[in-house]
Amino acid sequence: MPILKLENISKSFGAINALNDVSLSINPGEVLGLMGDNGAGKSTLIKIIAGNFKPTSGKLIFNEQAVEFAKPMDARNKGIEVVYQDLALCDNLTAASNIFLTREIKKNFGFFSIINFNKMYERSREIFRDLKSETLPEEQVKMMSGGQRQAVAIGRTKLSKAKVVLLDEPTAAISVRQVAEVLDLIKQLKNEGIAVVIISHRMPDVFAVSDKIAVLRRGQMVANKLAKDSSPEEVTALITGAIDTA
């Protein structure tokens, strides 16, 4: 049973058709690798799922119900979380403060309230334990490795009990050693039954974790198949247009 389904989604900006009749679906505990060259429509698609854009036509079906997102908050409230490439972390705050930013656990004293750091550290420690990451909740983010930073960003999505997590270029701009760490995080999300969409240019990373591969070219979905039935060579050919569809 798919948790998220896109039916015949099209999006145009004036005369430009960014997406043309795109359909795809993703099940709980499944990882979908979304691939395509720059300008192929990946970002537009992500932004439609995340509630930044409304599709020009087509339907979004979440948990078997047609949904319309007017703003990103609507998507978040449903359980769709996006981790952007720049991770949106504040370097000068601790891991726990970053995870809980705008959703702090508070102790109330009538007319004022203070942040309950102990509870936040405790909960963050659980989140990192679940993600099998060695990130310390009390540590400032600026001292952290790329993999740990990714863990903090993904930790945010765990706080809201996300059902679908979209990862935008999660392995770009980090070292090879840290890539393994991030891929482990993705497998962890999958094991917990979360549907994961990763957008990436790095073919080996995508094939290492994905169950399904979808390829966009000039706003068209040119492939949507099981990863084991495809190959990096085929996907490269699809992205560049050497093969028409597969």
92 lines the binding site for another protein (CB under 8 A): yes
Per CB under 8 A, the list member of 37, 104, 130, 234 interacting with another protein is 104
Per CB under 8 A, the list member of 20, 23, 140, 220 interacting with another protein is 140
138 lines the binding site for another protein (CB under 8 A): yes
Per CB under 8 A, the list member of 13, 126, 132, 173 interacting with another protein is 173
The Cα-based distances of 77 to 27, 80, 161, 178, 239 in angstroms read: 19, 7, 10, 31, 34
Element (H, E) at 236: helix 232-240
SS3 156: helix
Part in contact with another protein (CB under 8 A); list of ranges 90-98, 193-201, 202-210, 212-220: 90-98
CA 17, 23, 27, 31: dihedral to nearest 10 degrees?
Answer: -50
The Cα-based distances of 230 to 206, 216, 242 in angstroms read: 12, 15, 15
Minimal distance, residue 48 CB to another protein, in Å = 18
Q: Name the amino acid, one letter, at 116.
A: N
CA atoms of 241 and 232, how far apart (whole Å): 14
**Bridge partner list, 109:** 112
Per CB under 8 A, the list member of 8, 39, 77, 114 interacting with another protein is 114
**Neighbour-count burial of 166, counting CB atoms closer than 10 A to its CB (0-12 exposed, 13-18 middle, 19+ buried):** buried
Using the minimum distance from each CB to another protein, give the nearer residue, 173 or 242: 173
Minimal distance, residue 43 CB to another protein, in Å = 15
Minimal distance, residue 226 CB to another protein, in Å = 33
Per CB under 8 A, the list member of 66, 90, 226, 242 interacting with another protein is 90
142 lines the binding site for another protein (CB under 8 A): yes
Per CB under 8 A, the list member of 13, 68, 91, 245 interacting with another protein is 91
84 lines the binding site for another protein (CB under 8 A): yes
Measured N-to-C along each axis, helices 146-159 and 117-130 cross at an angle, to the nearest 10 degrees, of 110
Minimal distance, residue 146 CB to another protein, in Å = 6
